[in-house]
């Protein structure tokens, strides 16, 4: 029997919120960061010590991320406007096809979970 054949059956499905159930928040974060997404979330292709990476790992809270990004931005002369995020994140669109699939999985008896850093 192969490892795949011996694997336990899937009983639970986890979904992320932003970028999966909704459109991506990256444009809003870029706008709030004065056009600099990397300032806001760090290099996306590595799991480093940027405050956003630490938020994603559950090491710091969002308010600490905001304080640290504000400090980093001040060092580079960029003005961060977190006030923009509330309105811009409110413009996220729901991916109806994904929501329909989630509903289908629930009807099929799967346990569902939502995980997110946003």
Could you please report the per-residue DSSP string of 50-101?
SHHHHHHTTSS-HHHHHHHHHHHHHHHTPPP-THHHHHHHTTPPB-HHHHHH
User: pLDDT value at position 39?
Assistant: 93
User: pLDDT value at position 8?
Assistant: 86
CB atoms within 10 A of CB 95: 15
Q: Tokens in use for 8?
A: 């336990």
pLDDT tens, position by position, for the chain (118 residues)? 566 667 889 999 998 888 888 888 888 889 899 999 999 999 878 878 999 999 888 899 989 999 999 999 999 888 899 888 877 777 889 999 999 999 999 999 999 998 876 5
Whether residue 88 contacts residue 18, with contact meaning beta carbons closer than 8 Å, is answered with no
What does R_g of the chain's alpha carbons equal in angstroms? 18
């Amino acid at each position: 029997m192969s490892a795949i054949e011996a694997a336990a059956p899937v009983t639970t499905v986890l979904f992320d919120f932003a970028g999966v159930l909704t459109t991506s928040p990256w444009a809003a974060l870029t706008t709030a960061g004065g056009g600099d997404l990397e300032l806001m979330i760090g290099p996306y292709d590595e799991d480093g010590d940027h405050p956003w990476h630490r938020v994603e790992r559950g090491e710091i809270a969002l308010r600490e991320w905001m304080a640290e990004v504000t400090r980093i931005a001040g060092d580079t002369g960029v003005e961060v406007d977190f006030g923009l995020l509330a309105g811009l994140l409110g413009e996220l669109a729901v991916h109806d096809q994904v929501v329909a699939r989630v509903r289908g999985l629930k009807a099929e008896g799967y346990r569902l979970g939502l995980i997110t850093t946003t």
